[in-house]
Each structure stands twice: as structure tokens, then as C-alpha cells.
Amino acid sequence: MELTEADKKQLEKKGISKEKVLGQIETFKEGIPFVRLEKAAVVSDGISKFSEAEEQKLIQKFEDAKKKISLLKFVPASGAASRMFKAMFNFLDTYDPKAEKFEAYLDRTKDKDVKTFFDGYKKFAFYELIQKRIAGKTSSKDEEKYLFVKEMLLPEGLDFGFYPKGLLPFHDYGKYSATPFEEHLKEAVAYAQVNNEANLHFTISEQHGEMFNKEFKTAGERVAKDTKTSFTVNYSFQKPSTDTIAVTLDNKPFRNTDGSLLFRPAGHGSLIENLNEQDADIIFIKNIDNVVVPRFSDDVARSKKILAGLLLELQSKAFEYAKVLDGDSLTSELLETIKSFLEKDLNVRFSDKFGGFSIGQQIEILKDKINRPIRICGMVKNEGEPGGGPFWIRDAHDHISLQIIESAQVDMDNPAQLEILKNSTHFNPVDLVCGVRNYQGEKFNLLNFVDAKQGFITQKTKEGKDLKALELPGLWNGAMAFWNTIFVEVPLVTFNPVKTVNDLLKPAHQVK
């Protein structure tokens, strides 16, 4: 690939090296292989499940330790709400209240999403707000419905269709409506505060910075007063240097009409760089839209404390053994004990050749396996169609490990792989508790534990032209592939994402 002077300046401005671009083009040419599923992770084989007594013990471990450690709540929050309202944008495009009755529209289109929306729309936290704004502007109930959606979505109205999802009114408390941002502050009080102080970090889009600051001023003051908690809230943006080059269908750099190279945001996998800049003893990770109303919050907090207690328990053993491995009092019996801990507690799998290696080689392998960040991942029972979730996979070097795998990473034309996918009993709700330091208290460089081969190549269009885009390995997928991974079954109440606006009608999002 020949770079023009303009190309070089463009790369320099974005902070992207020529080598990185060439590597990405090579990835397009080679393609990204499907993962090889070995088997689904299930309870007692890859997923832990605790008794009530064991859970209470882990909660107590966390409660006893938390005043002596630092906690951080890390919330990916850069998503816009546009996908939430896909059905309602379609409604605006396809319904004309002057030409058709609403009931006739439903009969014609069989649009269940629109029917559900209007069957329950009085329950939305923004219902009264919109009704006040459109009062007196409509001459029929059908026109009122159309105007309600128009006011909700379009820029001349409330512009919710282009809002950051984290700042939409989700929950109706009567005197005010709470956004997901506010609910995360409340949630932090429940499990991520120490001495009435809580630290949160949100990854947001740069253009929404002022909006989040404004929300923190009002909602933050309200929650601080109600909970007697002081909040430190920080933000970061997806870095331009994590954007990936787009290529034509024959793997040549795609150029814009002005001749410049086209770069695209590389998905949530690029947030590993943002996470890498955070430093705390325990980092809780949860998506912005996965929040609940107060009557469910105790169950959510309890689950998080269990995961955090387990992290502390496993970490203390891992630290003890890592320190021993750096010492000079090792015996073959002690090496076997450490290997057993890695296998049984941290789900590490060793090559059959391990026993044939010299003691020195075994020590180096054990050091490598134990000196890694640890993630405890909540897993929810599959209540619907199987999809992405916890699996044992085998990589190109025949190493077996526990991974969170999306269905897009699996070869759907391979009957054996499809069967393993269907056997999945749990799915990934994005519920992580992370330990990112070694036994000496030094923070790991998380970029050293990414599997670059777990990205995605997708097909897109720009100005009517086809192109290929590259997404970096997902934050909780390939970006954490070489962490030590523990999966734990968590209750379904911990998973309440809002993927469509109608999800806000579910009990977890209804205050009353």
C-alpha cells in the first residue's frame, strides 16, 4: 500500500501508525477465522453456582475488605438511542393519520411493536412530558399518536432518537424521571461506595459531554443528598487512534470523495484502551441500559457483592502462589498445588506435554498463567433462544480456554459447531467484576491480554458504495481473551437491558 503525503498527515493526526493500518489490511485479506467451540460451559463445567451459605460467606468477605480497597464502577455509555426506536421511526415513515385510521394501519402492517408501544405508552416516564408539548395541536386520537412519536424522536421535538441512551428518561418517580445515568449512581451506592464515597467512569461520545455534565449536576446532587454519598464521576471518549481503516471489497483502502482514507469506529472492543487507563482494586463493569427500579436493586447489589467476594477470595490465593513462584523455596509438591489451583479455581487448561517439561519450564508456564488480570463474569440462564454466551474454545495453538463468544464468531454452516451453540444453557449479560493488578499492586497492561484474532469483519456501505469494516475484539470477548476467567450463575433479575423502547414497559423499569 502506497501512502500519499496527505495520507501520512491523516494518520499522524489520528495517532495511527502505518504499521497498524497495514496490519489491518492484512487482516481483511486473510479474513478472521471462526472460533472453534469445544463445548458449552455449563454449571459444574465452566460455570460456578453457589449455595446460599456460600453466597453469604462471599458477601461477608467483600463487606469486610471493601473499606481497605479502592472500587470503581465502569460503564460503557457511548451508545445512541437510535436503535431503541427503530420500529417507531418506521411508523413515522409508513403511517399517515390523514389518510388512514390507526387500527387500519395495524391491520395492514401487523406491526406488533407499534401496537405494544401504544397499548402501554401511558406507562413511559416521558408520557406526560410529551402530552404537554403536543396539547391542543391535534384534531384526532390517530393524529395525536403520530404527533406523539414525532415529538419524541425528531430534532424539532425532544430528539430522543439521537440522544445518548444513558440520558433518556427511563423511570417515572412522579416528581421527576430518572435516566440510566442516575440509576447507575444509585447502584454505585449499593455496592461500589467506600466511606460514603463512590467513583464512576462513563465512556461517552465526545459530542455528549456537556449533556452528561448537566445531568450530573441535577441528578448527581439529588442522589448525593438522598444517599449522603459523595460522587467522583469521570468520562472518557473512544480514541481516534482505535478507529480502523475501511477497505473496498477487493481489500484496497476505501477513499472518501475528497480522496482521504475512510476510518470507522471499531466497536466497543476499542474501550479496552479506556479501561486500561483506570486503576482500582476492583472494577465493576455493566452496560448503561442495564438498570432497575428500587424494588429490584437489593437483589442486583447482592449479586454484585457475591462476584466481588469471589474475586477477592481467588485473587488472594493467586497472589500468594505468584509470590511463591517468584521465590526460591519451590518443591514439586508445591508446583502441583499451584497447577491444581489454576485448573480447578481459575479454569486454566494445560497442555498434555506439561508433565514432560523441566521444572524450570513448568515454573515459567505457571508464572505466565497466574500473573494475569482476573474477571468474574455473571452468567444468566438462557430463557429464550440460544445466542452468545460462555463456551470452552480451542485456539489455533490447541490451547483450551473459557471465553464469552458471540454467535457471529461461530461457523453456522458447521453442524457440529451449531450443535454446541444450541447446547448453551446460559448467556452473557455483561456483568463483570475485574481485578487488574498483580500481587505487588502493579496494574497489568491490559493491552497485552487481547486476542486480535477475535475481531469481526462486516460489510457496510458509504454513499452507495460497498465496503468492508473491521471491528476490534469485543471488550468482554477477544479484548479479555487472555485474562483468567470465572463464570458464575447470577439471577435473571440482574439482566434488564433496554434494547427497544418497549423494554421500558417491563416490570424492572416500572416504579409503581
Query: How many domains does the structure of the chain reveal?
Result: 2
Give me the pLDDT at residue 129, please: 96
Q: Residue 275: pLDDT band by 50, 70, 90 thresholds?
A: very high
Asked if residue 66 belongs to a domain, the reply is yes
Provide the residue type at 385 as one letter: E
Asked if residue 467 belongs to a domain, the reply is yes
Residues 157 and 177 occupy one common structural domain? no
Give me the pLDDT at residue 345, please: 97
Question: What distances in angstroms separate CA 363 from CA 38, 316, 324, 377, 442, one per listed residue?
Answer: 27, 19, 10, 28, 21
Residues 291 and 310 occupy one common structural domain? yes
Residues 455 and 347 occupy one common structural domain? yes
Asked if residue 13 belongs to a domain, the reply is no
Residues 112 and 252 occupy one common structural domain? no
* CATH code of the domain containing 331: 3.90.550.10
Residues 61 and 142 occupy one common structural domain? no
Give the residue from 162, 195, 228 where a domain finishes: 162
Residues 40 and 133 occupy one common structural domain? no
Residue 311 has pLDDT above 90, yes or no: yes
Count CA atoms closer than 13 A to 166's CA, side-chain side.
27
Asked if residue 401 belongs to a domain, the reply is yes
* Alpha carbons 338 and 219: distance in angstroms, whole number: 48
> What value does the mean pLDDT take over residues 440-462?
93
3-state DSSP call for residue 236?
strand
Provide the residue type at 119 as one letter: D
Instruction: Please name the residues in contact with 287: beta carbons below 8 A apart, sequence gap of 6 or more.
Output: 75, 76, 430, 497
Residue 449 has pLDDT above 90, yes or no: yes
Q: Residue 385: pLDDT band by 50, 70, 90 thresholds?
A: low
Q: Residue 221: pLDDT band by 50, 70, 90 thresholds?
A: very high
For residue range 318-356, what is the model confidence (pLDDT) as tens digits?
999 999 999 988 888 999 999 999 999 999 999 989 989
For residue range 417-430, what is the model confidence (pLDDT) as tens digits?
999 998 899 999 99
Residues 66 and 115 occupy one common structural domain? no
Residue 384 has pLDDT above 70, yes or no: no
Give me the pLDDT at residue 14, please: 92
Give the residue from 162, 197, 216 where a domain finishes: 162
Give me the pLDDT at residue 383, please: 78
Asked if residue 12 belongs to a domain, the reply is no
For residue range 135-174, what is the model confidence (pLDDT) as tens digits?
988 889 999 999 999 999 999 999 999 999 999 999 999 9
Residues 261 and 141 occupy one common structural domain? no
Residues 75 and 139 occupy one common structural domain? no
Q: Residue 94: pLDDT band by 50, 70, 90 thresholds?
A: very high
For residue range 180-190, what is the model confidence (pLDDT) as tens digits?
999 999 999 99
Domain enclosing residue 96, as ranges? 82-162
Give me the pLDDT at residue 387, please: 55
Give the residue from 141, 162, 183 where a domain finishes: 162
Residue 452 has pLDDT above 90, yes or no: no
Residues 64 and 120 occupy one common structural domain? no
Residues 92 and 214 occupy one common structural domain? no
The phi, psi pair for 221, rounded to 5°, reads -65, -40
Asked if residue 262 belongs to a domain, the reply is yes
> What value does the mean pLDDT take over residues 444-462?
92
Question: What's 164's DSSP letter?
Answer: B
Residues 120 and 183 occupy one common structural domain? no
Asked if residue 11 belongs to a domain, the reply is no
In 348-455, at which residue ranges do the beta strands (DSSP E only) sit?
374-381, 389-394, 400-405, 426-427, 431-435
Asked if residue 54 belongs to a domain, the reply is yes
Q: What value does the mean pLDDT of the chain take?
A: 94
Give me the pLDDT at residue 456, please: 87
The phi, psi pair for 59, rounded to 5°, reads -60, -45
